[in-house]
Amino acid sequence: MALLGTIVNGICIILGTMFGLFFTKIPERIKETIMHGIGLTVILIGLSMGFASDRIIVILLSLLTGAIIGEGIDLDEKLNRIGSHIEVKFKKFGENSRVAEGFVTASLIFVIGAMAVVGALDSGLRGDHGVLFTKSFIDGFVALVLTTTLGFGVVFSVIPVVLYEGGIALFATQINNWMPQGLLDLFIEDMTATGGLLIFAIGLNLLKITNIRVANLLPSLFTVGIILYIYLQIQSWIG
């Protein structure tokens, strides 16, 4: 079943959020420090992923083209609008509800990353759900911690996670028909590095060092495949 890992991932995020709701009453000072810890950890994860590829020009051009597309359709604004709409529906959680922030932040953290892509590809290509099972436990814990500071909105990140991972898994069942394994391996490397930089940016935002519109850079995770293909073609012509 290609979608088993995706389904387990979604369940773990929901469970993590539910458990996290029991700890939302902790003092704000502790919440702030917890958020700093999450931000630093996210930065470390992003940096470790960022060195997955040495094709810097591919990563740079992917981010540039992704930024142009993302700003053109303003994904950041659309994500926040969805979050705000959800927040209105859940006013009972209080005037200071952070449903929108919880939804957007958690969605970006859970969706952007090597484990989401590689795990979904493994599920679709080989029926191996090991990577997504591991990611599920990690995401469940992160959802718990995020919920203590950002609240119930974290649970709605399940929707983009399931759509994203499920889509990749279903797509992967057919990918062997048109993409050679060597090209697929290079694509995963460059997507991992690109995603790592986006995760690094999320960490900076969590620490309130920057206010990068990470969602508007998301198209780079798709343009990286096109840029890589063009790069390899140029390399073959030169070589």
Q: What is the pLDDT of residues 151-171, one digit of tens each?
A: 888 999 999 999 999 998 898
Question: What is the per-residue DSSP string for 95-153?
Answer: TT--HHHHHHHHHHHHHSSHHHHHHHHHHHHH---HHHHHHHHHHHHHHHHHHHHHGGG
Structural domains in the chain (count): 1
State the pLDDT at residue 92: 55
- Quote the pTM value: 0.78
* Nearest-angstrom CA–CA distance, 16 and 152: 11
Residue 239 lies in a domain: no
Residue 193 lies in a domain: yes
State the pLDDT at residue 72: 94
State the pLDDT at residue 50: 87
* Nearest-angstrom CA–CA distance, 116 and 209: 26
What confidence tens digit (pLDDT) does each residue in 27-38 have? 878 878 887 888
State the pLDDT at residue 25: 79
Burial of 82 (0-12, 13-18, 19+ CB in 10 A): middle
State the pLDDT at residue 113: 67
- Domain limits at 126? 4-20+27-234
State the pLDDT at residue 95: 45
Residue 49 lies in a domain: yes
Residue 109 lies in a domain: yes
Taking 50 as the pLDDT cut, the residues of the chain under it are 95
**Structure tokens that stand for 88 in this block:** 């209105």
What confidence tens digit (pLDDT) does each residue in 66-95 have? 999 999 998 888 877 877 777 676 665 554
